[in-house]
Chains A and B, each alone.
Chain A
């Protein structure tokens, strides 16, 4: 069986899951509660298989892969250092928003999202890219994409660390990320701060693996956002 066959399987499971969801909701609207429960049990099982195979197509549920976010204009040298250290010292693969990803649909946003979905940790390097003038105030701003990517990583609940150039204004990071993930640096202190940040992140990753191994229940709740339409909230309540 080839890669296409795997995608076929995932596609087939998606179709079956959507059909079961539709049928279950129709059964509920007709007042057939037993039928709805029966279909819901089947849907949950198919969803469990779907999650399992989606994770498998990524290699493992928690791949040793880091997403590195940086500005190609001002952060490339810093990124190269982090990339090299992550590979050599911590045995992580590194992916970025600049690389094409499987299933990225050809646009940048979905490429970044696909890359983040395939990663287990996130490192953002915020370097000064613009000067923004507001009245008499001039503030240094990072690349728009680094801020976007950081937001996506936080939404996906990836372990995050940010390496922030001291020149970048606090408005772009202080209030939007937890305080313990900020690591400010200057050109002279970058390597030391980057090593500390990577160590913190890898420890966080190992803790996640421990947590994953301890939890034996398959996670079927995370998929509720992927329904083809808005289902009534009580549909997903346990025992409904």
Chain B
């Protein structure tokens, strides 16, 4: 899972950074299917985007297996899947353990696969808990001598459903096909982003802070914006790298009724320090009890742990859009020349 810090939309467009596109295998001019995830009658605050056709979202599965490597494994596996009318959307495989093991990771489209035990695509949509026991048995029989077995007697073979796409397939809103152009993605125009008629969709999009999360395992890009009803803060803590640092900070946030929306911890390396980014939202329901300034609250938290963790806090500003930055530069340039 890879995510970006918040960004403002510009003219209803979001910048999808290269590293997110690369992780998803989605490149320029690719068409994404974007579905708004409605949460009641209010304005939309979350989208799911994927290059997989939205007609198949309810029946996308992920196969993971480890084989003892030999020539012909992929050929046999692909032939077996073809025999069962199963489409392969993506495959990643690599050798490991001194070229003795082969890890295979496939995303499969099972809309044309049907069997008595595993059902057909419609029955699998209606009963999401159906395991693909029959397909697993066929693979186990075909590769009985090739599969890598764990000590308790289970092979390293799993076939799991893509639950994120299944959930998105239940959305009542229709999918919009949106191209990625020069790294930008347009928020679909037919979605309602603002209540009432005082703002256009584009204005509502541009005034929101958007977060992008690429789930390369699930082949999806989550796009969501901070809900306006509760305050959000992005705080970056720079602390000593010791056991229990995250536990201390997270417990403090729990006490203060702050919900962690995103957390990104990484070591700074040279100085035994950790950098922890938190995206936090207050969860108190009574507006009178919500602290007015969450930044102040974060400073208090950092001060509390300063002695113990040598803790400092900063507040990264949501990155402005590329066009906003360009305009800002131009304003500065022409402004100086005018002076």
Contact = CB atoms under 8 A, between A and B. Distances in A.
B28 interface: no
A16 interface: yes
A93 interface: no
Interface stretch (A4-12, A67-75, A165-173): A4-12
A3 interface: yes
B137 A9 contact: yes
In this complex, the member of B133, B140, B154 whose beta carbon has the largest number of chain A beta carbons within 10 angstroms is: B140
Contacts of B155: 45
A158 interface: no
A45 B115 contact: no
A44 interface: yes
Interface in A1-36: 1-3, 5-6, 9, 12-13, 16, 19-20
A44 B153 contact: yes
A42 interface: yes
B137 A49 contact: yes
Contact of B144 (A2, A20, A52, A56): A20
Nearest to B152: A41
B141 A45 contact: no
The CB with the most chain B CB atoms within 10 A, among A12, A20, A42, A46, is that of A42
Interface string B126-166: 00000001100110110011010100011100000000000
A45 B140 contact: yes
B5 interface: no
Contacts of B321: none
B143 to A, nearest CB: 10
Nearest to B140: A49
A41 B134 contact: no
Interface string A32-61: 000000100110111001001100100000
Given A42-B149, A45-B154, A56 B137 contact: no
Contacts of A5: 115-116
Contacts of A12: 138, 141
Given A45-B149, A45-B155, A56 B117 contact: yes
A56 to B, nearest CB: 6
Nearest to B136: A49
Please indicate which of the listed interface residues A1, A16, A19 has the most CB atoms of chain B within 10 Å of its own CB: A1
A168 to B, nearest CB: 44
A16 B147 CA distance: 13
A3 B116 contact: yes
Contacts of A13: 137, 141
A1 B141 contact: no
Contact of B117 (A6, A16, A19, A44): A6
A42 B144 contact: yes
Nearest to A13: B141
B153 A41 contact: yes
Contacts of B84: 1
A107 to B, nearest CB: 28
Given A45-B149, A53-B137, A16 B144 contact: yes
24 contacts: A1-B84, A1-B115, A1-B118, A2-B116, A3-B116, A6-B116, A6-B117, A9-B137, A9-B141, A12-B141, A16-B144, A19-B144, A20-B144, A20-B145, A41-B153, A42-B145, A42-B147, A45-B153, A46-B140, A46-B144, A49-B140, A53-B134, A53-B137, A56-B117
The 10 A-B residue pairs whose C-beta atoms are closest, nearest first, are: A1-B115, A49-B137, A16-B144, A16-B141, A12-B141, A41-B153, A13-B141, A41-B149, A42-B144, A6-B116
Interface of B: 84, 114-118, 133-134, 137-138, 140-141, 144-145, 147, 149, 153-155
